[in-house]
């Protein structure tokens, strides 16, 4: 049957729901589902979501995309890891885009100053 769900932001998604007729005597029931006894296994399938996942899989399997993500691991991710692990910067202390932008700017400036002083000494 078809089912519609609304998420927190009010967006409605359409799902095809597949349900088995009777799971009660199945020897694989405990491995297949966590549904309570008397309830059957249901599979929710969203065609648009599956198409998007497949297109992303194809993009990520391309050589050029792999190179870009490889560079990201080297250039970007260590900065955020350093901020979180060494400087203890895990949350913003302000609200609002402009204030968050300023606070992140100060945090990145601290990281860059640390790099600069390490290179110059």
pLDDT digits (tens, 9 = 90+) for 46-101: 999 999 999 999 988 898 888 888 888 888 888 888 899 988 999 999 999 999 99
**Residue 14 corresponds to which tokens in the numbers above?**
């359409």
**Sequential DSSP letters for 26-71:** -TTHHHH--PPTT---EEEE-HHHHHHHHHHHHHHHSHHHHHHHHH
Do residues 89 and 107 lie in contact, with contact meaning Cβ atoms separated by under 8 Å? yes
Over its C-alpha atoms, the chain yields an Rg (Å, rounded) of: 24
pTM of the entire predicted model: 0.48
Residue-level pLDDT at 45: 94
Backbone angles phi, psi at 76, to 5 degrees: -100, -50
Residue-level pLDDT at 72: 82
Residue among 11, 6, 41 at smallest CA distance from 23: 41
- For 27-37, the pLDDT digits (tens) are 888 888 888 88
**Residue 98 corresponds to which tokens in the numbers above?**
């402009």
How many CB atoms lie under 10 A from the CB of residue 89? 19
């Amino acid at each position: 049957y078809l089912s519609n769900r609304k998420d927190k932001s009010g967006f409605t998604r359409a799902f095809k729901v597949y349900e088995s007729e009777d799971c009660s005597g199945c020897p694989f029931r405990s491995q297949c589902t966590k549904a309570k006894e008397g309830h059957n296994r249901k599979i929710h399938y969203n065609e648009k979501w599956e198409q998007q996942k497949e297109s992303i899989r194809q993009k990520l399997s391309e050589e050029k995309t792999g190179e870009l993500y490889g560079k990201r691991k080297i250039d970007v991710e260590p900065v955020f890891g350093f901020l979180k692990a060494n400087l203890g910067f895990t949350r913003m202390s302000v609200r609002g885009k402009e204030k968050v932008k300023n606070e992140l700017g100060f945090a990145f400036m601290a990281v860059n100053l640390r790099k600069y002083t390490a290179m110059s000494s």
